Amino acid sequence: MIGAPHGDYRVSRGVDPAQLRAVAELFYGPFGRKLSGVLLPRRQEAAIRLTASALCPGEVYAAMDHDGVLMGIAIVRGRAPVLCPCRADVVDAFGRLSGGLRWLVYSLAVRRARPYPRSTRSIEGLVVRESSRGRGIGTAMLERIIEDARLEGAHELELVVGDTNPARRLYERVGFTVIKRGGVGPFARRFGFKELLTYKLQLVTRDAWQALRAEGAAR
């Protein structure tokens, strides 16, 4: 874990596995109820347990204060496009029949989904504790994610957000632009938005990337 200090907090990439529960709790705040009964079980405790079990510690960015209290989290994926818990955890969360069926659907979806190319990173969730919002923590986490992706040679970052989410302003401020819109149909009322927007941030153009590689090879 490497942390960059920002006054009273630091942004780290990767968390201790023992912190996954706290990460899942923070994630549950804004997203839990929207996903409950769909991707997550209705009971809060079961939903948090399932989320924690589906997370990989290396994919979590965390903003922590100096006492180790989580102030914000972001989940960044390189290849797998969906959360992917193991069968036993899904059965444990939804019960044998419903869990078994959901597991089948999850597995088919994972098999069908095209893995992201190595050059794309996906931000699957960015959450700052309510009492800590508006102090630049979300921006600092995004900047760290962008910097890491650039250093690792990624071409682009992607994320999906509801059209009514005020976080759009933050994403647009750091340079993300909308590349796709898709309606959510009957889920509009529950989600509180009608469309999901896919945003992309181009880190370096393909031509520029190839030129850089050629330059490196020539040295």
Ligand X SMILES: CC(C)(COP(=O)(O)OP(=O)(O)OC[C@H]1O[C@@H](n2cnc3c(N)ncnc32)[C@H](O)[C@@H]1OP(=O)(O)O)[C@@H](O)C(=O)NCCC(=O)NCCS
Instruction: Count CB atoms within 10 A of the CB of residue 23.
Output: 24
Q: Shortest approach of ligand X to residue 34 CB, angstroms?
A: 10
**Rounded Cα distance, 17 and 24, in Å:** 11
Min dist CB 105 to ligand X, Å, is: 23
Residue 152 vs residues 118, 139, 141: alpha-carbon distances, Å:
10, 20, 17
Q: Specify the residue, 75 or 203, whose C-beta has the smaller distance to ligand X.
A: 75
Work out how close the CB of 130 gets to ligand X at its nearest, in angstroms, rounded to a whole number. 7
Taking each helix axis from N to C end, the angle separating 44-54 and 20-35, rounded to the nearest 10 degrees, works out to: 120
Residue 143, SS3 per DSSP? helix
- At its nearest, how many Å lie between ligand X and the CB of residue 27? 9
Residue nearest to ligand X (CB): 138
Site of interaction with ligand X (CB under 6 A): 30, 125-128, 133-139, 161, 165-167, 169-170, 173
> Please, where are the H alpha helices in the chain?
20-35, 44-54, 87-94, 96-112, 137-151, 167-173, 188-191, 206-218
Q: Specify the residue, 104 or 172, whose C-beta has the smaller distance to ligand X.
A: 172
Q: Please report how close the Cβ of residue 149 comes to ligand X at its closest, in angstroms.
A: 17
Instruction: List the end-to-end C-alpha distance of the chain, in Å, as a whole number.
Output: 32
Residue 47's nearest CA partner among 30, 22, 25 is: 25
Residue (52 or 123) nearer to ligand X, CB: 123
Q: Compare residues 150 and 173 and give the one whose CB is closer to ligand X.
A: 173
Report residue 137 as tokens: 């923590």
* For ligand X, the closer CB: 71 or 203: 71
